[in-house]
Structure 1
Amino acid sequence: MTKYAGKKAVISGGTHGMGLAVAQALVAAGAEVIVTGRDEANLAAARDLLGAGAHAVRCDVTDLAEIEALGGVVEERLGGVDFLFVNAGYAKLEPFELVTEAVYDRIFAVNTKGAYFTVQRLAPLLREGGAVVLTTSIAHHSGTAGMSAYAGAKAAVRSFSQVLAAELLPRGIRVNTVSPGFIKTPTMGVEASAEERAVFEKIGDEITPMKRHGSVEEISRAVLFLAFEATFTTGTEITVDGGLTEVLSLPAQ
C-alpha cells in the first residue's frame, strides 16, 4: 500500500499506544516517520516494529534543549515535513487537594509546554499545505473528579490549537486536535498501578454509551483523517469517545 508514499511525518510520543498506531499506519502506507519518546526500551521496540521506514529518536518534551535537538534531527533526516502529530502526554489522577507542585508542574510541562514548543520548533519545517494534529482529551470538556490539573493542561492545548490554526493559515497549514475518551493502551493514559488501571478501564466501559473502550486504531483513523483528508478543516476538534461527551445513555426500561 502506497497511500502515503513520499509523505514525511513526525510523531511526538510515538513509541507506544496511540502514537505508535499512527506511525504503523503511516509506515505501512509508504510514509517516512520519526517517532519520539523518553523510554529506551520503548524506543528500541518501536525501531524493531516499524522497520526501515521509521526513525525512533529520544526526546524529553519538557526539555527545550532536547526539542531543539529534535528539530535538527528532523531537518537532517526528513527535510520538509508533511504532518506533525503532537501526542506526548502525562496524566496522574488525584483529588485536587492532594496534587503537589511537582505533579502539577510535570503535567503542564509534558502536556502543555512540551506541545507548545514542539510545534514552535517544527512549524518552520512543515511544508505548505501540511498539517498539525495535537492530542487533547475529553477531560477538558467537563468537570471530572481527579483530573483538575490534567484537564486544565489539555484545555490549554485546545486553545493553543485554535490560535496556531490562525497563525499558520497563511502557509496553508491546518491545525486540529483529536480528543480521545477511554482508549485501550498499555497505560490507559494514566500513571497508576495495574489494579488501578483495571478499575479505571472498567469505569470507562460502564459510563461510555457504546459500553466499551476505543482502540488505538480508531484513534489513528481519526488522526490521519485530520492530517490528510480533512483539507477544508482547521481549528477544530474531533472527539473519539464512544459518545461519552455528547450522548446520554439511559438504561433500558
Structure 2
Amino acid sequence: MILIYSVILVTKVYQFEITLSKKFKEMNKFNNKVAIVTGGNSGIGYATAKELIAEGASVIITGRRKEAIEKAAEELGAIPFIADQGKLEDINSFKNEIENQFGKVDILFINAGITGTLDSIENMSSENFDNVMDINFRGAYFTLGKFIPLLNDGASVVFLSSNVATTYKANSSVYQASKAALNSIAKTAAAELAPRKIRVNIVSPGPTKTEIMTKAGLDEKTLEGLNDWMINAIPLKKMGTAEDVAKAVVYLSDNEIASFMTGTEILIDGGMIL
C-alpha cells in the first residue's frame, strides 16, 4: 500500500514539474532569441523592447541620442547602440557590430521613424522631404537589406507603419507617402524571404500616445486640439497606447501562434479608417 501511494506521489510530482516547465516556457517564449528594435529609446520602440525582454529575448535597441539610448537600455535591461537609421554608414556599422557580437538575429523590429514637418505640397521643403524619406523609407529599406544575411531561417521581421499609409489627409503628404512606400517594400520582402520561412509583417497604429507629435514641433495648445479631433474621429473614442502596439509586434514575432502570417498588416487604430 505504501508503495502504491509512493508511486502516485512521484507521478503527481513529475506531472507538476512538467506543468511548471511548460508554463515557464510559455512565459519565456523568446528564450535564447536575439531581437533588434530600432528607435528603441522611447514610445512604441521602448514598449516593444520591454515586452520582448519580459518574454526572455536578448534585445538590442538603437537611437540617435547617446544619453537617451543609454538611459533607456539601463532601465530596460537592453543593449544600447547609437545609430541613425537615416544614415547608411550607421546601418553598416550596426550590422557589422551585431554580426561580430551575436552572429544571427531572430526578431527584427524596424520601428524608427519621424513625422517631419506638416505642410502643404506647395510649401513642402526638399529638406523635410529628404529627412522623412531617409529615415522612414530609405533607412528602413536598407536596414532590412543589410540584416537579411544575419536573419535566422524562420526569423520574424516587423515594420512599424501607420494607418495614414492608406489615407490622404492634407498637409501630411510626405509622411503618408513614406509609410505607403514602406508597406509596399514589406510585402515584397515577405515574398522574397518566404523560402527561408522568414515572416515579414506590418503593424499600423492610428493615433497613439507617444512623443512623436511633440517632436514634430507642435505646441501644447495645438496638440490638445489635435488630440481632441483625433479622439472624436475614432469609433472607440480613445487614443491607443505604445503597449497596444508592442503586444501586436510580440504576437507577430511568435513562431508558435503567428507561423502562418506573412505579408500581413495589422491595423491598431480603434476603427479610425472604417
TM-score bucket (shorter structure): over 0.9
Give the counterpart of 2:100 among 65, 71, 76.
76
2:69 equivalent to 1:49: no
Counterpart in the other structure of 1:217 = 243
C-alpha change, 1:167 and 1:189, in structure 2 (3 Å) is: farther
Counterpart in the other structure of 1:241 = 269
RMSD: 1.3
Q: Deviation string for 1:22-58 (max 9, x for gaps)?
A: 100111221101110102232122122112xx21101
C-alpha change, 1:231 and 1:16, in structure 2 (3 Å) is: same
Counterpart in the other structure of 2:146 = 121
User: Where in structure 2 are there 5+ consecutive unaligned residues?
Assistant: 1-26
- Secondary structure, in 3 states, of the residue corresponding to 1:96? coil
* CA shift for structure 1 position 199: 2.7
2:181 equivalent to 1:153: no
User: Which residue identity lines up with residue 17 of structure 1 in the other structure?
Assistant: G
* CA shift for structure 1 position 189: 7.5
Counterpart in the other structure of 1:173 = 198
* Aligned positions of 1:26-37 closer than 5 A: 26-37=52-63
- Give the conservation status (yes or no) of the 8 Å contact 2:114–2:212: no
Distance 2:138 2:37 in 1: 16
- Give the conservation status (yes or no) of the 8 Å contact 1:182–1:188: no
Which runs of 4 or more aligned residues in structure 1 lie more than 3 Å from their structure 2 counterparts after TM superposition? none
* CA shift for structure 1 position 116: 0.2
Q: Deviation string for 1:105-127 (max 9, x for gaps)?
A: 11100100000000001111110
* CA shift for structure 1 position 175: 0.5
- Secondary structure, in 3 states, of the residue corresponding to 2:122? helix
- Secondary structure, in 3 states, of the residue corresponding to 1:119? helix
- Give the conservation status (yes or no) of the 8 Å contact 1:90–1:189: no
Distance 1:114 1:133 in 2: 14
- Structure having the higher helix fraction is 2
Counterpart in the other structure of 2:260 = 232
C-alpha change, 1:126 and 1:199, in structure 2 (3 Å) is: same
Distance 1:222 1:190 in 2: 24
- Give the conservation status (yes or no) of the 8 Å contact 2:91–2:143: yes
User: Where in structure 1 are there 5+ consecutive unaligned residues?
Assistant: 247-253
Identity %: 38
Distance 1:155 1:189 in 2: 23
Counterpart in the other structure of 2:39 = 13
2:128 equivalent to 1:100: no
Give the counterpart of 1:91 among 115, 128, 135.
115
Distance 1:182 1:226 in 2: 21
User: Which residue identity lines up with residue 5 of structure 1 in the other structure?
Assistant: N
User: Which residue identity lines up with residue 52 of structure 2 in the other structure?
Assistant: L
User: Which residue identity lines up with residue 91 of structure 1 in the other structure?
Assistant: T
* CA shift for structure 1 position 203: 1.8
Distance 1:190 1:205 in 2: 20
User: Which residue identity lines up with residue 222 of structure 1 in the other structure?
Assistant: A
* CA shift for structure 1 position 206: 1.4
